[in-house]
Structure 1
C-alpha cells in the first residue's frame, strides 16, 4: 500500500491520477484484511463507497470545495453517527443507534470526509488499554502482544496501520495522546471546548475533549481546520529559532522509565539544535492534584451512567463497574473543592505560559504494556498501568490547555515513545508550528520504520 497524505490525495484527485472511489475501496479492503488488529467495531463499507461516489462526481465537475472531500477517516465509537450503531465499546449500548450525528461528525461530513466506520475503544472510554471485554482487545500494530493505549486505542491502531488517513478520538485523562504515543502517530487534545462536544457519550463534561489522530503534522492541521473552521495550516513552519521551550524541573520528569527518559532528553537537544531556547521551569502540580481528576471524572460519570448503575450494574466490565460503584461515595463538597482547585491550576499554568511558549514533557512515563498487564515497575517502584500512563497527560485535561503528542523514537523494546508539547489556552498554532519543525527535521527515519508496519499488518 502506498503511503499517502491528505494533500497528496487531494492533488491526485484533482489531476485524475486516481479517484475517491478507488482510494476508499483500498482502505475498506485493507480494514477487512487487518481484522486481527481488532481496530474497528463497525465498518461502514456501503456508506463510505456512496460518499466516495459523491466526492468523485465533485472532482469530475471541478466542484470539490470541502477541506476533506474524498478523505477517508474513522470515528471513535462514542461519537454519535446517525443511523449507525454507536456502542461506546459497551454491552449496555451495543444496539444504540443515534438519530443524529455528533457535531464534530457533522462538521467533518460537511467538509467532505468519508466515514470508514467506528473504531474500537476502552469500554465507555473508561481506561487506557482498550482491552475491551465485549469486542475484544485492540492490538498495537508495532507488536500485537501489546496494548495500543486507550481509550482511543482503535483510533491509534487504525491510523498507525493505515486503516484510514485519520481518526477522531476523545480524551479525558490522556485518551488521545496515550494511543498516539503508544502507536507512533500524532494526537492532539485541543483547548477544552474548542471542539463542540454535542453528540458524545461522556465520561466527564468537565474533562472531556475531542481531537484528531493523524500520521503527520500537516494532516493534523488540515483535519483541525475542518473540525473548527479556523486556520491552522499557516502554522506549518520549520523555523523555531527563539521559541521558548519549558523544561520541567519537577513532576513531569519524575518516575520515567530509562528508555523514555533518554529519548525525551534527545528530543530536547534536537529542539535546541533548531534554535529553540530551553528554559528550566517549576511546575505548579503535584500527585495530590492528579487525584482531583479522578474525583471530578468519576463523580460526573456516576451522573452520566446513573440509570445504568441502578438497572444494569453487572452489564459493565469489571474495571468500569468498580469505578462507577465508587462514584456515589464522592461528596458534593469534595467535588466542589476539586472544581475550585481546577480553576486555580488552570490560572497557574496560564501564568507559566507567560514565561515559555511551549512546555515539553514525555507523553507517558513508559511505553505500552502487554495486553492484560495491570501493574508496572519503574525504578523499583510498582504502580498500576492506569495510574502510570495517565500521570503526565491527565494534567492538561484538568487544566484544559492544548497538548500534542508526537513520536520521538523507538525504545529498545521496539515500541514508540511520545513527546508531549503543551501551550496556553487556544494556542494550538504554536504546537503545530513546533511539532511540524521537529517532524520535518527529525522524524523521516521514524516514519520510514512506521511505514514498514503496512507490510506486516
Structure 2
C-alpha cells in the first residue's frame, strides 16, 4: 500500500474497504470510513492483548454513522438507546440533521488546531461553514493543558506496556518488531513518581475537556492534521516545517484516549491529491449515544462526494 491506513488496527481497516465487509471492530488508541471510539470501558477489552490497560478502547468502524451505531449497541450490550442527560440525546421525533441545526459545537483552538496541513484545514473549514449555514452554533473553546498530552501519554502508556509484556520481552524480545520493542523497553525506565505525575496530569486533562464540553454539545476538530503520509515516511512538511509523522498521527486523537471521552470520525472531503480527510466529534463521557445523534446530523449536513 502506498499510504498507511493508520498507526494501528491496519488489518481491520484494510478489510473495511467499500462493501468488502459491513463493519469491523478495532482496538483504538489513537478517510472515508466512520470510526467510533466509545467512552472508555463501555466495550469490554477482554481477550485483547493490551498495550495500555489505562488507554485501550474498543470501537467499531463502518460506512455510516447508522452502521457504527448498530454495532456499538450490540457489542456494548444495549438493545435501545441509553438514558441521556440534558446535554442532548435521541429524540424520536427529530432527525439527526434537525438536532445538529440546533446544536452548539466547540472548536478547541490552540494545540489541537494550530498545526494543520493546508488541505486538511480547508476541508475542516468547509465542514464548519456547512454546519454554520445549516444553523449550528459554533464557538471556540479552550483546553489549556492540551499540549502536555504527549508527555502524559508516553509515561503511562510505556510503563503499562512494559509491565504487561515484561516476561515475553525477557524471553522472546526478538519476536517484537524493533520499533515496538524499543517503546516497551523504554517503559522499564519510567520512575514511579513520573507515572504518578502523569496520572495526575491525566486528571487535569479530563477536567479541562469536561469543562470545555460544559459549554457545548460536542467538540469539533480534524481527525488527523495531515493526509495519510507515504508508507515508511518518518517526517512530512507542514506549513513549511519538517514534522515527525508519528506525533502528527496522534496529535488530534491522543488527548481523548487519555481522558476516555467518546469520539467519532466522519469523512469530510478529499485533499487536492484525492486523499480523504476526517472530521472528529467528541462528546461527554458516558454520553456516547448523544454523540452519535449529533454525528448522524453532521453526516447529513457535511456532504462528501
TM-score (norm 1): 0.62
Count residues with an aligned counterpart: 293
Q: Single out whichever of 160-169 and 410-419 deviates more from structure 2.
A: 160-169
Q: Which residue of 2 aligns with 1:156?
A: 13
- State the 1:218 CA deviation: 0.8
1:237 to 96, 111, 118: 96
1:396 aligns with 2:256: yes
Q: Supply the distance in 2 between the matched residues of 1:419 and 1:287 (Cα, whole angstroms).
A: 20
- State the 1:154 CA deviation: 2.0
The answer to whether the 8 A contact 1:284-1:349 is kept is: no
Q: Which residue of 2 aligns with 1:215?
A: 63
Cα deviations by residue, 1:358-381 (Å, 9 ceiling, x for unpaired)? 100000100111111121121122
TM-score (norm 2): 0.92
1:282 to 133, 142, 151: 142
Q: Which residue of 1 aligns with 2:226?
A: 366
The answer to whether the 8 A contact 2:104-2:216 is kept is: yes
> How do 1:277-426 and structure 2 match up within 5 A?
277-426=137-286
Q: Which residue of 1 aligns with 2:24?
A: 167
Q: Which residue of 2 aligns with 1:8?
A: none
SS in 1 for 2:16: helix
Q: Supply the distance in 1 between the matched residues of 2:294 and 2:149 (Cα, whole angstroms).
A: 28
Q: Tell me: higher relative CO, structure 1 or 2? Use CA pairs within 8 A at least 6 residues apart.
A: 2
Q: Supply the distance in 2 between the matched residues of 1:386 and 1:415 (Cα, whole angstroms).
A: 18
Instruction: Please list every run of 5 or more consecutive structure 1 residues that lacks an aligned counterpart in the other structure.
Output: 1-138, 140-144, 175-182, 447-457
Q: Supply the distance in 2 between the matched residues of 1:285 and 1:196 (Cα, whole angstroms).
A: 29
- State the 1:210 CA deviation: 0.3
Q: Supply the distance in 2 between the matched residues of 1:425 and 1:338 (Cα, whole angstroms).
A: 20
In structure 2, do the counterparts of structure 1 residues 274 and 433 end up closer, same or farther at CA, with 3 Å as the change threshold?
Answer: farther
Q: Supply the distance in 2 between the matched residues of 1:383 and 1:170 (Cα, whole angstroms).
A: 26
1:431 to 277, 288, 291: 291
Cα deviations by residue, 1:112-160 (Å, 9 ceiling, x for unpaired)? xxxxxxxxxxxxxxxxxxxxxxxxxxx3xxxxx1111130122222213
Q: Which residue of 2 aligns with 1:189?
A: 37
Q: Which residue of 1 aligns with 2:86?
A: none
Measured on the aligned residues, the alpha-carbon RMSD in Å equals 1.6
- State the 1:232 CA deviation: 4.0
- State the 1:199 CA deviation: 1.2
- State the 1:274 CA deviation: 2.0
The answer to whether the 8 A contact 2:120-2:271 is kept is: yes
1:203 to 26, 33, 51: 51
Q: Supply the distance in 2 between the matched residues of 1:150 and 1:389 (Cα, whole angstroms).
A: 7
Q: Which residue of 1 aligns with 2:111?
A: 251
Q: Supply the distance in 1 between the matched residues of 2:136 and 2:277 (Cα, whole angstroms).
A: 21
SS in 1 for 2:96: coil
Q: Supply the distance in 1 between the matched residues of 2:207 and 2:296 (Cα, whole angstroms).
A: 28
The answer to whether the 8 A contact 1:160-1:184 is kept is: no
SS in 1 for 2:73: helix
Q: Supply the distance in 1 between the matched residues of 2:121 and 2:17 (Cα, whole angstroms).
A: 23
- State the 1:429 CA deviation: 2.0
> How do 1:136-151 and structure 2 match up within 5 A?
139=1, 145-151=2-8
Q: Supply the distance in 2 between the matched residues of 1:168 and 1:286 (Cα, whole angstroms).
A: 28
Cα deviations by residue, 1:344-393 (Å, 9 ceiling, x for unpaired)? 21122112111111100000100111111121121122222111110110
Q: Supply the distance in 2 between the matched residues of 1:391 and 1:247 (Cα, whole angstroms).
A: 15
SS in 2 for 1:291: helix
Q: Supply the distance in 1 between the matched residues of 2:25 and 2:102 (Cα, whole angstroms).
A: 33
In structure 2, do the counterparts of structure 1 residues 441 and 288 end up closer, same or farther at CA, with 3 Å as the change threshold?
Answer: closer
Q: Which residue of 1 aligns with 2:73?
A: 225
Q: Supply the distance in 2 between the matched residues of 1:222 and 1:157 (Cα, whole angstroms).
A: 21
In structure 2, do the counterparts of structure 1 residues 442 and 344 end up closer, same or farther at CA, with 3 Å as the change threshold?
Answer: closer
